[in-house]
Amino acid sequence: MVAVAEELGYTAGAVSQQIAALEKAVGSRLVTKVGRNVVLTDSGTVLAEHAVKILSAEQRALDALRAVHDDVAAPLLLGTFGSTAAALLPPVVAAAQRKYPHLALSSRELDVDEAATAVQRGQVDVAFGLDYPNSPMPRTPDIEMITLRSERFGLAVSSGAYGIRTEGTIDLREAAEWNWILPPAETQFGRAVRIACRQEGFEPIVRHEIVDTAVSLALAGKGLGAAPVTDMMMRLNSSVPIIRVDLEQEIGRRIVLIRLAGSETRPTVRAVTDIVRAAVDPAAAE
């Protein structure tokens, strides 16, 4: 109850009152205590599933009404994160201002692993996300993911580290004894890289666990290890003197746009989707 109250901005007492009112309305217990926790009963689980569908239907109805006017003149909040904020947000905002001057486009930085949840909860309207083939993002019926670009990983190292002095291509297994700079294993990025290494028969020697890509590149530039990077990630710290080596193995990620299923009926969502596609891949948008 406390966690729900904090998430929704209510008091625990107010949440309890709402649950009690629902139980009275449906004539069934919706929650029960298990130790110190409260869990849904079977009736509560069924009601929760239907509630999601009802709320989605309500949103689709509102979107359909907005679409009648077909006017791109409403606020839209775009969720973003490090590399997309630096590389994609400026051209997206510029294009939106040019094509739709009455569209109030704003952005909010998110933990990339929480992007889909933020869209589901209505914290943002759409969001950039990352999907890894060997560690895919969870799929749910109420979420739609649009692939914007596929990128391959290489390794960023300082000149001379591990005998690397020029750009080229190596087998991932050559880096088995290198020091690595990686995000924590519980992140999608960190998990995906570790899985790729294990598939090649080794566990990466992680000396520095870093989430911030710009910091990872700075550490790699100082010779503290190898950092997995894509072309877009390299833009976050282009001043660092590092060498990127490609990998023979195909290790990649997909940059996706996350939105609620059916939300393309909203003129603002449809417009921003088209703008984002053009910003990421101008050739594909033509």
Characterise 195 by phi-psi region: left (phi > 0), alpha (psi -120 to 50), beta (else). alpha
127 close to 80: Cβ distance less than 8 angstroms = yes
More confident position, 252 or 34 = 252
Domain segments of the chain as ranges? 2-67, 71-151+254-285, 154-250
More confident position, 163 or 178 = 178
Token output for 209: 């666990």
Name, in order, each residue with C-beta under 8 angstroms of 231's C-beta and a sequence gap of 6 or more: 151
2-67: in CATH 1.10.10.10:
yes
Confidence of residue 237 (pLDDT cuts 50, 70, 90): confident
Q: Judge whether residue 118 has pLDDT over 60.
A: yes
Confidence of residue 14 (pLDDT cuts 50, 70, 90): confident
Nearest to 251 by CA among 198, 190, 193: 193
Confidence of residue 180 (pLDDT cuts 50, 70, 90): very high
Confidence of residue 111 (pLDDT cuts 50, 70, 90): very high
Number of residues that make up the chain = 286
Q: Which of 60-69, 133-142, 143-152 has the highest mean pLDDT?
A: 143-152
154-250: in CATH 3.40.190.10:
yes
How far, in Å, CA of 203 to CA of 200, rounded?
Answer: 9
Residue 282, pLDDT score:
65
Q: Judge whether residue 67 has pLDDT over 80.
A: no
Question: CATH fold of 71-151+254-285, please?
Answer: D-Maltodextrin-Binding Protein; domain 2 (3.40.190)
Nearest to 152 by CA among 85, 70, 234, 62: 234
Common-topology check for domains 71-151+254-285 and 154-250: yes
First vs last C-alpha separation in the chain: 50
